[in-house]
Amino acid sequence: MEPILSVKNLGVRYGGSAEWAVRGVSFDLGRERLGIVGESGSGKSTVGRAILRLLPGAEVTADRMRFEELDLLDIPERRMLKVRGARMSMILQDPKFSLNPIERCGDQIAEAYRTHVRATKRKARAKTLEMLEAVQIREPERVYDLYPHEVSGGMGQRVMIAMMLMTDPDLVIADEPTSALDVTVRLEVLRILDGLVRERGIGLVMISHDLNLVRNFCDRVLIMYAGQVVEVLDARDLDQATHPYTQGLIAAQPRIGGDRGPLPVLQRRDSWVEGAA
Amino acid sequence: MRRRVIPDIAGQAGAILVTLAGLLILTFVIGRIMPTDPVRAIVGEDATREVYENVYRQLGLDRPVWQQFFFYVRDVLTFDFGTSIRTGQPVLQDIARVLPATVELATFAIVIGAGLGIPLGVAAAVNKDRWPDHVIRIASLMGHSMPIFWTGMIALLIFYAGLGWVGGSGRMSQFYIGLVPERTNFLLIDSALAGQWDVFRSAVNHIILPASLLGYSSSAYITRMTRSFMLDQLNQEYVTTARVKGLSRNKTIWRHAFGNIKVQLVTIVALAYGSLLEGAVLIETVFAWPGFGQYLTSNLLIGDMNAVMTCVLVVGLIFIGLNLISDILYRVFDPRTR
Amino acid sequence: MVTLPLGTARRRSLPHGLVSLGRIAAFLFRAPPSAFGLVVLALLILMAAFAPLLATHDPYVQDLQSTLQPPSGAHFFGTDELGRDIYSRIVHGSRITLTIIFVVSIVVGPIGLFIGTVAGYYGGRVDTVLMRLTDIFLSFPSLILSLAFVAALGPSLNNAIIAISLTAWPPIARLARAETMTFRSADYIAAARLQGASSARIIWKSIVPMCLPSVLIRLTLNMATVILTAAGLGFLGLGAQPPLPEWGAMIATGRRYMIDSWWLVTFPGVAILLVSLAFNLLGDGLRDALDPKQINKR
């Protein structure tokens, strides 16, 4: 099957920095769910933003970065505006910060729709209410008129998901979609996202530091360390990981019913980074 | 959240009352420490002893200080600010007559200042650390650094005496004085109401230079604050969200980031408007603008303390009022405080 | 991680303040605007120090034979209506400007520090009362309040300085209070209190030194306003009195001859503009050199 997204040898360097934040990252994504796992600072979020071309001032290089028929490396920003939010979008981490505090939730969702589809206000509102129902919000009419500070974290993230799926994109990048939420609502939000992604055949890139979460919700897992991919595995084969870093990550997960000895300290070796001096 | 509003307003009112009381004490104290003899200022140098004593008692100067303060507060509360020695008119009446000229000038200036400062501040923030930012920063620091009375003179020298582009001193040409019936004392409004378009043109010609200078100097502050507010917002995640939605950079900046600083800007513009009164004192002297600032300084120079202290009180009240208004606007426009 | 012990060792060999001052100066010199500010201020200080040497004429001696002369080799900036050399008057005027800056700083700094640290340290009712007082002063534009004070005290240079000082302390007090609030609950303050140190001692020994850097920066930033206010008072005839060569007063007298003799008002104005611009540029640079958030707080 033709991949939705194909990245080969992606490198990102932030302005003024000598170090590459990301380098040599390659992967293909079909209509599947790909997890990118790594510690903070491993460059996983940077990969997501590079794909959306939202890294102003950073140097982005790649041998190939294709999204469907588009070459993301050289289409002009003007055309990118028609792609971003319409055919690919991104769910950000914390609804407390990622929603505009002075606009009503519903209007923010409707804006995503009206940016790409010519529609009357009334039509956009109807679509928004529909979408709010799709993310299992019980009183869409009421929530439409709430300001972000008036909704809970779980509700805010559902608003975010509604906003980003409003235009039926082919690719969604979820950047730590649940790590800012209460543990009790995480699973619920993830199930909603998972359900919609499967139902609509969306390609999903799930960026997370939580190995267990990725294991349960993704088909494949990409493990990043210091800006590079160290291992790619099917989610169900995670226990057969060969790379010592992945093994370390797995060993560092606390387990119910496991022994109560101290968790092993995560090993980090410079030699895992290719080309490091 | 709604329940908190009432005590908030009560607290606000309390704070205003305390500030008002402080204002009264301050003006009272300043009025009392002056070395010039208020009695002499009224009766003149060669009044007889009886006349002097009489006025001394009339002014209540023989009473204890706390009683004098009590009388002062009573007078203020009943809007009795005494008569100006210089004009012989009640001070309040004088101020009501001169204030419109200053308000007209300050309003014209704040429109220029905000119209210049806000877009420049946004531009500086968006282009942070690139050349537009540097140019804007230097330009606004210049506006902040210039002694406005001096710039006023130089500008008069160039644009009036040299190039003849604008009118000179005063609110209009000598020729038109007295032609327009005084209804509001706002010349631009009065002349328009009377259909005297020549006068209107002359008034615009005269106000444009002092207002531009005042506007430029207040735009310095507005630019700087807009820039720093804007920088705070541009680093927020919701800006990224807007970009992810597919909004262009411009739309993101103006619709989302700028939308979030509007409320703060109201406060800043209100404060800038207040400090324009300060610039007005100096610029009115240079441009012979018959407004509040000139009234204040000419009374200062002859030691007419009644008039001076009332002016100070009025400025304080205007400041408190502006703070209050911006506070209310904050509450009305920011959904988080409702 | 290896560099940390080295860094602290080196810092210990020099007083901490000196090292950071040096670092700030280096930073300031790297940016052209703040370097310009530093240079102008250095020139101002040199000018004031060597005024008698730099001046070509006595700033007070009148020469009615050569009044209102345009700039020339004999009189760099021309002469005024009494034939006095404007260049020499500006040079000597720098002493007045520096005096104003110096006196206002040493009056305003301690007052602001005292009120701010006491309010911040004790909190509660003391804080409320002191901050209300500060707010009352802040609710006036500083020039108007200075005008009122000068009017009450009588116009003179000294009274102008007093009036400016009386109106310039509130922002400093606000800042010192905000700083104090952040230190108040720090462990080392608690430790000092447990050792039985008196409040006065804690404020003086532990809190004031911590507030000092930001207060100094704030003072620098305020100096531009102080200079403009002083010049404004001089211009209105409420500050320095003739024949003192104060720049604002020079502009006021030159105003009458402005149309025919532009040099009378131009040069003193440029001098005021340069010095206040220098302080603004310097303050701006200092703000960048240190945490911007901290300094913006009033």
Q: List, in order of start, the domains of chain C with CATH numbers.
A: 18-297 (1.10.3720.10)
Nearest CA in chain B to A51: B244
What is the pairing mode between strands A220-225 and A228-234? Answer: antiparallel
Mutate which of C136, C167, C282, C297 to test chain B, going by most B C-beta atoms within 10 A? Answer: C136
Question: Subunits that touch chain B (at least 3 Cβ pairs < 8 angstroms)?
Answer: A, C
Chain A environment of B2 (Cβ under 8 Å): none
Tokens matching residue A237: 């084969």
Output the pLDDT for position B35. Answer: 60
Q: At residue C29, what are phi and psi to the nearest 5 degrees?
A: -70, -20
Min Cα distance B111 → chain A (Å) is 26
Distance CA C149, CA B17 (A): 23
Is it the case that residue A14 has pLDDT exceeding 70?
A: yes
Question: If pLDDT is split at 50, 70 and 90, which confidence band does A116 have?
Answer: very high
* Nearest chain B CA: its distance from A164 CA (Å): 7
pLDDT of the residue at C258: 84
* Mean of per-residue pLDDT scores for chain C: 83
Q: Chain B partners of A84 at a C-beta cutoff of 8 Å?
A: 243-246
Contact call for B282 and C139, based on CB within 8 A: no
Q: How many CB pairs under 8 A join B and C?
A: 147
What's the gap in Å between the CA of C256 and the closest CA on chain B? 11
Cβ-in-10-Å burial (0-12, 13-18, 19+) of B192 comes to middle
Of B244, B247, B336, the CB nearest to A101: B336
> Does the complex come out with an ipTM higher than 0.85?
yes
| DSSP letters spanning B10-60 | HHHHHHHHHHHHHHHHHHHHHHHH-SS-HHHHHH-TT--HHHHHHHHHHTT
Report CB contact under 8 Å: A54, B244.
yes
- Contacts for B234 with CB less than 8 Å, ≥ 6 apart: B125, B126, B253, B257
For residue A122, the model assigns a pLDDT of 92
**What is the pTM for the complete model shown?**
0.83
**Looking at beta carbons, which residues of chain B come within 8 Å of A81?**
246-248
Between these two residues, A123 and A247, which has the higher pLDDT value?
A123
Q: How far is B257 from chain A (nearest CA, A)?
A: 9
Instruction: Report CB contact under 8 Å: B244, A164.
Output: yes
pLDDT of residue A50: 92
Q: Which of A106-110, A237-241, B178-182, C200-204 has the highest mean pLDDT?
A: A106-110
Q: How far is B164 from chain A (nearest CA, A)?
A: 48
Assess whether the previous peptide bond of B100 is cis (omega < 30° from 0): no
- Checking if the pLDDT of A192 tops 80, the result is yes
Residues of C in contact with B285 (CB under 8 A): 235-236
Two tokens, residue C105: 């700083």
Distance between CA A208 and CA C106 in Å, rounded?
56
Please give, rounded to a whole number of angstroms, the shortest distance from the CA of A237 to a CA of chain B: 33
Task: Quote the pLDDT of residue C2.
Answer: 37
Q: Which of C141, C228, C292 sits opposite B277 (nearest CB)?
A: C141
Neighbours of chain C (3+ CB pairs under 8 A): B
For the cut 70, the answer to whether the pLDDT of residue C196 exceeds it is yes
Picking from B241, B256, B263 by the largest number of A CB atoms within 10 A of its own CB, the best residue to mutate is B241
At A94, phi and psi to the nearest 5? Answer: -120, 110
Q: Cβ–Cβ of B243/A54 closer than 8 Å?
A: yes
User: Which residues in chain A have Cβ-Cβ distances shorter than 8 Å to B256?
Assistant: 100
Within 8 A of C288 by CB-CB distance, chain B residues are none
Q: Contact C228/B278, CB-based, under 8 Å? A: no
Do the Cβ atoms of B247 and A54 come within 8 Å? no
User: Residue B41: its pLDDT value, please?
Assistant: 66
Nearest residue, CB atoms, A86 vs list B237, B246, B334: B246
Q: Which amino acid does the sequence have at A17? A: S
List of chain C residues whose C-beta atoms are within 8 Å of the C-beta of residue B33: 152-153
Q: How confident is the model at residue C26 (pLDDT cuts 50, 70, 90)?
A: confident
**Interchain contact, C292 vs B274, CB within 8 Å:** no
- Higher local confidence (pLDDT), B175 or A247: A247
In this model, does residue C296 exceed pLDDT 50?
A: no
Helix and strand counts by DSSP (H, E) for chain A: 10, 11
Contacts of B138 in chain C (CB under 8 A): 33
**Which of B244, B251, B254, B255 to mutate: most A Cβ within 10 Å?**
B244
Fold (CATH) for B95-306? MetI-like fold (1.10.3720)
Chains C and A touch each other (3 or more Cβ pairs < 8 A)? no
User: Do β-strands A33-37 and A220-225 pair in parallel, antiparallel, or remain unpaired?
Assistant: parallel
The shortest CB-CB distance from B246 to any of A81, A92, A147 is to A81
CB contact under 8 A, A149 and B242: no
Q: Is A82 on the interface with B (CB under 8 A)?
A: yes
Which residue is closest to B128 within chain A, CA to CA?
A: A57
Q: With contacts defined as CB-CB under 8 Å, which chain B residues touch A207?
A: none
Q: What are the angstrom distances between the C-alpha of B103 and each of A31, A137, B97, B109?
A: 66, 53, 11, 10
Q: Are the beta carbons of A247 and A241 closer than 8 angstroms?
A: yes
Instruction: Give the residue, C109 or B324, on which the prediction is more confident.
Output: C109
Mean pLDDT of the region A129-154: 92
Domain residue spans of chain B: 19-77, 95-306
A264 near A249, Cβ under 8 Å? no
Give the integer Cα–Cα distance in Å for B14 and A159. 41
pLDDT tens digits, residue range A163-183?
A: 999 998 999 999 998 888 888
B103 or A260, which is more confident: B103
Q: List the single range of A197-211, B19-33, B103-117, C234-248 with lowest mean pLDDT.
A: B19-33
User: What mean pLDDT, rounded, does chain A reach?
Assistant: 87
Greatest Cα pair distance in chain C: 76
Domain span holding position A76: 5-273
CA nearest to B302 within chain C: C151
Residues C47, C94 contacting (CB under 8 angstroms)? yes
C144 and B31 within 8 Å at the Cβ level: the answer is: no
Q: DSSP letter string over C231-298? A: HHHHHTTSSSPTTS--HHHHHHHHGGGTTT-THHHHHHHHHHHHHHHHHHHHHHHHHHHS-HHHHH--
Which residues in chain B come in under a pLDDT of 50? 1-4
**Closest chain C residue to B34 measured between Cα atoms?**
C152
User: In this predicted structure, what is the pLDDT of residue C205?
Assistant: 83
B95, two tokens: 């101020």
Count structural domains, chain A.
Answer: 1
pLDDT at A237: 83
Q: Do C281 and B277 touch (CB under 8 A)?
A: no
Residue B19 near residue C135 (C-beta atoms within 8 A): yes
Specify the residue for token string 């002063």: C137
Q: Measured between CA atoms, how close is B252 to chain A, in angstroms?
A: 11
pLDDT, tens only, B132-159: 999 999 999 898 899 999 999 999 889 9
* Residue of B145, B146, B274 lying closest to C141 (CB–CB): B274
A151 — contact with chain B (CB < 8 Å)? no
Contacts of C264 in chain B (CB under 8 A): none
How far is the alpha carbon of A98 from chain B, nearest alpha carbon, in Å? 4
Q: Does A102 touch chain B (CB under 8 A)?
A: yes
Interface partners of chain A (CB pairs < 8 Å, 3 or more) are B
User: Residue C136: which of B19, B156, B228 has the nearest Cβ?
Assistant: B19
Q: What is the CATH number of the domain that holds A128?
A: 3.40.50.300
CA A170 to chain centre: 13
Q: Do chains B and C touch (3 or more CB pairs under 8 A)?
A: yes
Q: Tell me which of A84, A90, A100 to substitute to probe the interface with B (most B C-beta atoms closer than 10 Å).
A: A100
